Amino acid sequence: MKKNNKICAICKRKVEKHDNFCNYHFLALLNIEKNFQTWKDAYENLNWKEYLEKLIKNEENGIWVQEVAKYLITEKMEGSNV
Ligand SMILES: [Zn+2]
């Protein structure tokens, strides 16, 4: 992969800080990861995928978070191993 022409995996904007996401989706990803800890405290058996599904269903999370959550779920289904 060349460094100079990376684009966001979701919206195809030019990537600046993160390898796969533009600043908007990268910030959403950070929030998703940060909030997962809080959610895990609230729902004992919550796993990552269930958490993402909750995010997608809850429109209060905003479009960026929903798009990132959808992307992450798709990635998981295709067998990526993070
Ligand atoms: Zn993006």
pLDDT tens-place string over residues 31-61: 999 999 999 999 989 999 999 999 999 988 8
| pLDDT for the residue numbered 82 | 45
Instruction: Calculate the average pLDDT of the chain.
Output: 87
Residue 68 and residue 32 in contact, taking contact as beta carbons nearer than 8 Å: yes
CA dihedral of 17, 22, 28, 33, whole degrees rounded to 10: -50
Segment 5-18 shows an average pLDDT of: 89
Please give the distance, rounded to the nearest whole angstrom, from the Cα atom of residue 22 to the centre of ligand 1: 4
Please give the distance, rounded to the nearest whole angstrom, from the Cα atom of residue 17 to the centre of ligand 1: 11
Please give the distance, rounded to the nearest whole angstrom, from the Cα atom of residue 12 to the centre of ligand 1: 6
Please give the distance, rounded to the nearest whole angstrom, from the Cα atom of residue 57 to the centre of ligand 1: 20
pTM for this one? 0.80
Who's near 33: CB < 8 A, 6+ residues apart?
A: none
Who's near 73: CB < 8 A, 6+ residues apart?
A: 49, 52, 53, 56
Segment 53-79 shows an average pLDDT of: 88
Domains of the chain, by residue range, sit at 1-82
What is the band of 80 on the pLDDT scale with cuts at 50, 70, 90?
very low
Please give the distance, rounded to the nearest whole angstrom, from the Cα atom of residue 2 to the centre of ligand 1: 18
